Structure 1
Amino acid sequence: MPINISNGQKRILISTIIITLLYVLVWMTSHRKSEIKSRTPVNENGQAVFKQRLVAVGDLHGDIQNAEKVLRMANLIDSESNWIGNQDILVQTGDIVDRGAYALNVYKLMQKLRGQAENQGGKVVSILGNHEVMNAIGDWRYVTQDDIKVFGGTKRRQEALAKDGWLGSEWLANYSITAKVPLSPYSFSPSISFSHGSIRPSFSNLLPYPEKINELGKSLIEKALTPPLSPPYPPNPYSGLPKGHTSEEADLYSEGGPLWWRGLAEREESQVCQWAKELKLKLGVKRIIGGHTPNFEKIVSRCNDSIIIIDTGISSAYGGVLSALEIIYTLLPTKEDHKEHRQDPFMVFDTQRQFQNSIDSSIQSSNNQKNEVSGISPKSKGLEGKFIEREEVYAIYEKRKKLIVIDEREITL
């Protein structure tokens, strides 16, 4: 005998089925999230033995408004543009100048944040781009008239750029061509290579890295910024590299040098991955990160995330997307070991301070120390047993955050 179901009963039945399906979907999603979270072991009080957050930002090209937006997106500055990143590391990969009007303001912001970050145990790592070096040698083809006005005219802009001027001295003291940034103070942890353009495995002055490249960069910049500076081109004739430059310095600034080369961003995948493998071995790094070659839609990851290109055309001169790269590194005891590895809270500050000092020694262009972190033995710091080393890499955009990769490994100390 057929069962007659009224329209009202049909609606109730359909609604019940939909609600049930939604419940199952929500349960599966939350269950999946819990599975992902469970991969991260915690110690007795839920804290890592060591945790470091690093944020990298690409080309800014004179756009102070978008620069501040990106740093707020990454939770590094507050509404007054003061540092709130605590012990975070900020790496900016060059090309602050040209195309936009407010390079001066961006440099001033970075100068302020550098001091504020250091006071909180954090760090600002600044890389020179090809446009910084262009300005140093008098190549002003991409300098806007508004930029010159903000500096107070051509003469004042040149005075600022001179080696004793506020910007020239800032470049010489706090900017480098490349940087090797360790993710922890422990020698077993990975380091990351940062440069503006692509580093070529066959570059003649690659090693020792990063010292040799940075020594050449500092020498070239100092020669270029020693008065009298080259007259700006245009309207004056192009002067080229400064008098007294060496062939090694010319190679640094050449099309195949780390300021200009785009190979890791533009060449075919198989070739790039072969270069990546070679570079990681030579440089002693896990990833190579750079800017210079914009993708106006996203941060580009290549070769199983060994190569990451972070220039997304942030400046309004390009109209790309606002973005930042985030790396979160944690070292945690495994669940079965955590009771035996409670760390003295005073060690945390001491280790962090030594860590920040080790970054200084890695990026200083004239430093003769080894660029590997030294003098911090894990066992001398009470770290023995099994640990999970975890590295999470994200692309941060204006309205979303995208996971690029999570790498984990278990280590025994």
Structure 2
Amino acid sequence: MDKLRGQAQAEGSTVLSHLGNHEWMNMIGDWRYVYPSELKTFGTVAHRQRMLSTGRIGRSWAANYTTTSRLPLHPSLGPPNTPYPPPASPHRLHWEKEKDGFEIDFDLWMFHNHRHPESKNPLSHAAISFVHGGLSPTYQDLTPFPTKINELSTSLLRKLQHREQPPPHPPNPYPGLPASVTEHERQVYGSDGPLWYRGWALQDEETVCKQVDDVLAKTGTRRMVMGHTPDFTNIVSRCNGKIIIIDTGISHAYGGVLSALSIHYTVHPIGDDADQRWVERELISALYPDKRTLIVDEEREIVGDFQVADGSH
């Protein structure tokens, strides 16, 4: 992965890498899924522990991996992992009372209105989130996204890597998290946290489609992509492509179908230059060895000046 990262940078591209629940299990000392043959490649338990904590693998995890990512589709929104809302944003994150007595969730209002052609910021949510497990609607540290989750993850990883490494489980008792972790750090690894949450995959369609807009609104995204809950035959799309679950068990240990997700985003000008009218299109497909399946094909007209510093749009 580090080699691929260097190759991408040489071409002006970026590799975004995430730690999933199994990486965290290994760092905690929960080695239930570690085969004896893998242990042999490291020589000893202590050598493997050093490699994952202060060794080459551990240093790469700390320097190059996050728990979640926000991928802006348009360069005017900034580079990958630009937080939403921005630090200087006046956006209100929770319920606030208007002068006329009605209560609104400002981010939810922005999410539902940014698609209107005359919206002041029609690209505010033109981004996609990526995470291993899922962004639960009840998880309290969603925002600013993805900064808050990744800061907590970085802090938790540091505590795990720099503690005295416990004897792994099994055959020893489950070591758990260090005593020094905060409650917010603990929740990162909790069942409702981004590493383990399965609700978007397992709950019924009506339930998840009622919940998803609120999470997308808070995270400044239009869609969420996740793994963790495999379907061994195909990538799963729910709620008209707002939820995309890409785990198809491609490891030989599971024997699922090989797959990848293709995201193609374009913005084309229409009409006179003075009109500042554009057609925005999102095309998302599931790729398999023998076919391509269309998941999303959405087109909308937007109005605004979306030029960025290098002249692109």
**Which one has the largest radius of gyration?**
1
Q: What letter corresponds to residue 132 of structure 2 in structure 1?
A: H
1:399 corresponds, among 290, 296, 299, to: 290
Q: What letter corresponds to residue 65 of structure 2 in structure 1?
A: Y
Question: Which residue in the other structure is 1:283 paired with?
Answer: 219
CA contact 1:296–1:313 (8 Å) conserved in 2: yes
Instruction: Name the CA distance, whole Å, in 1 between partners of 2:297 and 2:15.
Output: 24
Question: Which residue in the other structure is 1:184 paired with?
Answer: 74
Aligned residues: 258
Q: What letter corresponds to residue 61 of structure 2 in structure 1?
A: W
Consecutive aligned runs of 4 or more in structure 1 exceeding 6 Å deviation: none
Q: CA deviation at 1:384?
A: 6.8
CA contact 1:223–1:243 (8 Å) conserved in 2: no
- Bigger RCO (CA 8 Å, 6+ sep): 1
Matches within 5 A, 1:9-408: 110-162=1-53, 164-187=54-77, 188-189=122-123, 190-334=126-270, 336-337=271-272, 385-408=276-299
Three-state SS of the structure 1 residue aligned to 2:145 is coil
Instruction: Name the CA distance, whole Å, in 2 between partners of 1:319 and 1:407.
Output: 33
Instruction: Name the CA distance, whole Å, in 1 between partners of 2:3 and 2:263.
Output: 23
Instruction: Name the CA distance, whole Å, in 2 between partners of 1:333 and 1:267.
Output: 40
CA contact 1:290–1:311 (8 Å) conserved in 2: yes
Task: State the identity %.
Answer: 50
Q: Please, what TM-score do these two structures have when normalized by structure 2?
A: 0.79
Instruction: Name the CA distance, whole Å, in 2 between partners of 1:121 and 1:152.
Output: 38
Please list every run of 5 or more consecutive structure 1 residues that lacks an aligned counterpart in the other structure. Answer: 1-109, 341-382
Q: Please, what TM-score do these two structures have when normalized by structure 1?
A: 0.60
Three-state SS of the structure 1 residue aligned to 2:302 is strand
Q: Deviations over 1:140-186 (max 9, x none)?
A: 00011122223343222111111x31111111111111111101212
Q: What letter corresponds to residue 286 of structure 1 in structure 2?
A: R
1:411 corresponds, among 286, 302, 306, to: 302
Q: What letter corresponds to residue 26 of structure 2 in structure 1?
A: N
Q: CA deviation at 1:218?
A: 0.8
Instruction: Name the CA distance, whole Å, in 1 between partners of 2:171 and 2:231.
Output: 32
CA contact 2:27–2:52 (8 Å) conserved in 1: yes
Instruction: Name the CA distance, whole Å, in 1 between partners of 2:7 and 2:258.
Output: 24
Instruction: Name the CA distance, whole Å, in 1 between partners of 2:275 and 2:49.
Output: 56
Instruction: Name the CA distance, whole Å, in 2 between partners of 1:303 and 1:243.
Output: 40
Q: CA deviation at 1:243?
A: 2.9
Q: Deviations over 1:65-102 (max 9, x none)?
A: xxxxxxxxxxxxxxxxxxxxxxxxxxxxxxxxxxxxxx
By percentage of residues, which structure has more helix?
A: 1
Please list every run of 5 or more consecutive structure 2 residues that lacks an aligned counterpart in the other structure. Answer: 78-121, 305-313
